[in-house]
Structure 1
Amino acid sequence: MLDPIERLALSYAPRSARAAWEALIFFNLKLAEAAKPGREPMMIQLRLSWWRDRLSEPADSWPKGEPVLAGLKVWEREAAALIGLVDGWEAKIVGEDGGVELAQAQIESYVALARLLGETELADVRQTAAQLITPGRSSSRPPKLARAMRPLAILRALAMRTEQGGEPTPLRDLAMLMRVGLLGR
């Protein structure tokens, strides 16, 4: 289930982009669940390898009945980015990179989403995604994103707001997110 911020972010995506956005969000949630801390690393690797194996096959041969996998059919030509996410989660759980590979894979998944949606300003998407994934590392002004990538701008703005800390101001924060959704930055 999507949280309210994810639903708000998705509401700013054009209808034609929502399926790809939803598939990425639900896939990330599914991988996070599979790699939940406290689970046996071998079991995590088995769950992640199932996803890697499915994404390595043509979408027509994927098993029916797994809703997240069904949603990922729109991602078939960018499956390599999704496999990168699986590898990133595995590196975080069983490796010693501290999540560096996962962070890079998450950034690249947003770039792949932009390609999937026909966007051409991939450097802007990469910069915004990097600010989302590692909000404290960049102080530069975010670029304006095309409408199909506005959910990324909203998620980045919230990550930056959270990073700043302080007392939450729900109405002001909502107004800020709506402004970002309308303007793209």
Structure 2
Amino acid sequence: MHNPAMQDLIDGLPPLERLAASYAPAATRPLWIGYFALEQRLADAARDGRDAIMIQLRLAWWRDRLGEDAARWPKGEPLLAMLSPWNPARAALSALVDGYEALHVGEEGTAALDEARVGVMLALAGLSDIVDLTPVELAARQWRGLAPSTPGITPLPRAMRPLALLRGMALRGEGGSPALRFLAALRLGLIGR
């Protein structure tokens, strides 16, 4: 990742996502960074206060790109370059675009976006050659608040360590001192629980 444009994408991630991506194995880290950067870009495109038509136009551009094979994507857009490993699972990313549209210009609230995020985690697991998707789906649903926490949380494969971190921090909630939250995030990243 010595490309300055790629480094800018990484540097632009929120701290928790940056930390989560750092715990992904080198082989899957680009998948995670691409996903997190796309989330950032879509959230910005659909941020509150923007006109609904402008939101739809910005999201339509991403929907159109993700509907095409990565070989046809415009060159020069660092995020598209980062998303090229997602080519076989573009549909999951396109559902994320639809989720943002539903969130900001539809009536579904966060439901469509949360389901799309679960789908992205399943697609990421598939791209990481993970066969048993059951624990990944449960962890993704717990991360998004779509499933209750269960005692003795099933560990996730190493490639999904960022999801373990996100799930663990979501289940902890917002309470606690920043130092304790940081230590909890480090523990989740290192051992996955």
Normalising by the residue count of structure 1, what TM-score does the alignment of the two structures yield? 0.92
Gaps of 5+ in 2: 1-11
SS at match of 1:5: helix
Number of the residue aligned with 2:106: 95
Q: CA deviation at 1:120?
A: 1.6
Q: How does 1:13-92 map to 2 (within 5 A)?
A: 13-92=24-103
CA contact (8 A) 1:144 1:183 kept: no
**Counterparts of 1:8 and 1:39, CA distance in 2:** 30
1:116-153 C-alpha deviation (Å, 9 max, x unpaired): 11112211111111111117x51313320111100110
**Counterparts of 1:88 and 1:9, CA distance in 2:** 22
Bigger proportion of residues as helix: 1
CA contact (8 A) 2:13 2:40 kept: no
Q: CA deviation at 1:100?
A: 0.7
Q: Which of 18, 21, 24 is the matching residue for 1:10?
A: 21
| 2:148 maps to 1:138 | yes
Aligned AA (2:123): A
Q: Which of 167, 185, 192 is the matching residue for 1:177?
A: 185
**Counterparts of 2:106 and 2:14, CA distance in 1:** 29
Q: CA deviation at 1:11?
A: 1.9
SS at match of 2:31: helix
Moved over 4 A (4+): none
Normalising by the residue count of structure 2, what TM-score does the alignment of the two structures yield? 0.88
1:89-114 C-alpha deviation (Å, 9 max, x unpaired): 11111111112111100111011001
**Counterparts of 1:3 and 1:108, CA distance in 2:** 21
Aligned AA (1:149): M
Q: CA deviation at 1:169?
A: 4.9
Gaps of 5+ in 1: none
SS at match of 1:16: coil
Aligned residue pair count = 181
CA contact (8 A) 1:14 1:147 kept: yes
**Counterparts of 2:81 and 2:139, CA distance in 1:** 28
| 2:163 maps to 1:152 | yes
Number of the residue aligned with 1:168: 177
Q: CA deviation at 1:176?
A: 2.5
Identity, in percent, stands at 47
Aligned AA (2:77): E
